Amino acid sequence: MQSFEKTIKKIGQFTYFFADMDTIFMDKDSTIIWEYGHNQLPETLHPYVKKMRKQLNQERRNDDDNVLFHTNELRTYYMSAKLHNEEKDFLGILIVGPFLFEKPSPQLVQNVLFENKLPISLRHTMTQYYLSLPLISEYKVDMIAEFLAFHTTNMDKLNNYQPKFAKAANMFQNKFEVIPAPLQEHQEISVGAIEKRYSLQNELMSAVEHGDIVKAEKLLNEDMPLVEKIPNRIPNDPLRSEKNLAFTFNTSLRIAVEKGGLHPLYIHSISEKFAIQIEKTTSIQQLDDLQNVMIREYCEAVRKYSLKNYSFLIRKAIEYIRFHLEQDLSLETICTAIHSSTYELSRKFKKETGQTLTDYINALRINEALYAMENRNLSITDIAYMVGFNDVNYFTKVFKKLKGMTPSSYRKQL
């Protein structure tokens, strides 16, 4: 193993840069030796991926294939390449992925949650995770597989390969004039332009804090481009410079939505997804388009999930309800979790939300049920239990009260 250590590491690095996907090397004892990648796996999903990796390592010991394609309970895809020395001793595997072949749909998330008995409260986090994964064609997968197969089956040659690099001599200097690269001079920017830009940025963050999509998009696309632009901080690498600014923009948006009353769990899942997408962009136009998407999604999150206008006690109660929607949510259970008396919580909840605790919980559960209704793979009973109703008859009763029809009738209209 030691004699091939550098070669395996080099193949892993080559694969990561060629595929632009997470790449790990796991030795014969299922220990991860090297890991390269962008994607941050939600904590809840760690056991699934850990189990999958260990199974792959065990299964690949005795097969004769160079590269195999895999999927798991999360319906994400991987490919693995087997590594061995000249004596055919098993050294471990390279795993590339996860990736997807199709854009993730709401039905995909619902199916994964249901099949793996994961809480419905993970829907938002799971959706953001799937949206952060590479979406690639079968052609590209075949190219990556061929790349892997070639390098892993030629490890003995690569182990002794010493490339030679040198600068080519200019053989045509007498025939052609060599034009030097233009020097990027530092451009001065006026104090007024700096003040105006910061003022507009503050207005933009305020708009995002309040979930005002129209105002935020106007500021980003119409007002700010009129202000003199700050020079690139990395003059000879404009894309890297713009990426750094986009990361800063993403951080500013995080702070804005936190002020807007968004829970850190929602903020983290959105910002992680955009951090990955920023790094993967290959042009300034892609970055410009992505920033518009960021504005809309952060604003929509504030409009949908903000608890800014509630007292601390009611914010804690609503957060607990949202993250435990499929569990027992009796008044006593919630009060114990947030350290409140039943009398105080009932009184304040009704006063601040205009609803009783039971009515609020039922409305949230029915809204989640509506989201799942489009998925024909889930029965009405499945959906009822998935969103926290232990009695399908009670679910039907509440659904009809809030929507004016039974769940079956609603589904027929879809």
Contact assessment for residue 386 and residue 114, using Cβ atoms and an 8 Å cutoff:
yes
pLDDT band at 135 (very low <50, low <70, confident <90, very high): confident
Q: Is the pLDDT of residue 233 over 80?
A: no
3-state secondary structure of 16: helix
Please give the pLDDT value at position 170. 58
- The one-letter amino acid at 121: S
Q: Is the pLDDT of residue 177 over 60?
A: no
Please give the pLDDT value at position 30. 85
Q: How far is the C-alpha of 405 from the C-alpha of 218, rounded, in Å?
A: 41
Contacts of 370 (CB under 8 A, 6+ apart): 403, 410
Q: Is the pLDDT of residue 185 over 60?
A: no
Q: How far is the C-alpha of 46 from the C-alpha of 303, rounded, in Å?
A: 31
Q: How far is the C-alpha of 345 from the C-alpha of 139, rounded, in Å?
A: 57
DSSP string computed for 335-361: HHHHT--HHHHHHHHHHHHSS-HHHHH
3-state secondary structure of 286: helix
Contacts of 32 (CB under 8 A, 6+ apart): 24, 25, 26, 53
414 or 113, higher pLDDT: 113
Nearest to 138 by CA among 101, 178, 191, 181: 101
Give the pLDDT confidence of 351-400 residue by residue, as tens digits: 999 999 999 999 999 999 998 898 888 899 999 999 999 999 999 999 99
Q: How far is the C-alpha of 389 from the C-alpha of 384, rounded, in Å?
A: 5
Q: How far is the C-alpha of 27 from the C-alpha of 203, rounded, in Å?
A: 53
pLDDT band at 3 (very low <50, low <70, confident <90, very high): low
- The mean per-residue pLDDT over the stretch 14-28 comes to 90
Q: What is the average pLDDT value for the chain, to the nearest integer?
A: 86
Give the pLDDT confidence of 45-62 residue by residue, as tens digits: 888 788 877 777 777 777
- The mean per-residue pLDDT over the stretch 8-17 comes to 90
Contact assessment for residue 1 and residue 94, using Cβ atoms and an 8 Å cutoff:
no
Give me the domains of the chain, ranges plus CATH numbers. 2-159 (3.30.450.20), 191-305 (no CATH), 312-413 (1.10.10.60)
3-state secondary structure of 119: coil
Residue whose entry in the numeric block shows the structure tokens 């065990």: 58
Q: How far is the C-alpha of 95 from the C-alpha of 32, rounded, in Å?
A: 10
- The mean per-residue pLDDT over the stretch 67-77 comes to 89
Q: Is the pLDDT of residue 168 over 70?
A: no
Nearest to 63 by CA among 45, 81, 76, 44: 81
Give the pLDDT confidence of 250-279 residue by residue, as tens digits: 999 999 999 999 999 899 989 989 998 898
DSSP 186: P
Please give the pLDDT value at position 183. 47
Q: How far is the C-alpha of 349 from the C-alpha of 336, rounded, in Å?
A: 16
Please give the pLDDT value at position 223. 83
Q: Is the pLDDT of residue 407 over 70?
A: yes
- The mean per-residue pLDDT over the stretch 28-57 comes to 81
Q: At what angle do helices 312-323 and 331-338 cross, to 10 degrees?
A: 120
Q: How far is the C-alpha of 14 from the C-alpha of 126, rounded, in Å?
A: 30
261 or 164, higher pLDDT: 261
pLDDT band at 319 (very low <50, low <70, confident <90, very high): very high
Q: Is the pLDDT of residue 174 over 70?
A: no
Please give the pLDDT value at position 331. 95
